[in-house]
Amino acid sequence: MNEDMIVCRCEDITLKELRDLIAEGYTTLDEIKRALRLGMGPCQGNICLEIAAREICKMTDKKMEDIKMPSKRPPISGIKMSELVGDNQNEK
């Protein structure tokens, strides 16, 4: 497989970057997520987390059922900046 292949399109992470990190000893998806931001883009890891889990299995002899998938925490809804800082117009 071409190591220049993009694994995570949202964060622009290549297969080589992922494999290098696993070779350094990062063997859980949470560790890889923190180090590379893999799975933290708009798609929330819908594709890249599965690829990363397979690479961990391939490089460490772990089984897929031993790989813990991270929790997905999509945003509930947007918030306006004025709501965060408070609206001073009503305070008099």
**Full-model pTM:** 0.73
CATH architecture of 6-90: Orthogonal Bundle (1.10)
For 36-48, what is each residue's pLDDT tens digit? Answer: 999 888 888 888 9
CA distance 22 to 29: 10
Sequential DSSP letters for 4-44: TSEEETTTTEEHHHHHHHHHTT--SHHHHHHHH-TT-STTT
Domain ranges of the chain: 6-90
Separation of alpha carbons 48 and 14, rounded Å: 10
Query: pLDDT tens digits for 56-88?
Result: 999 999 999 999 988 766 666 777 888 778 766
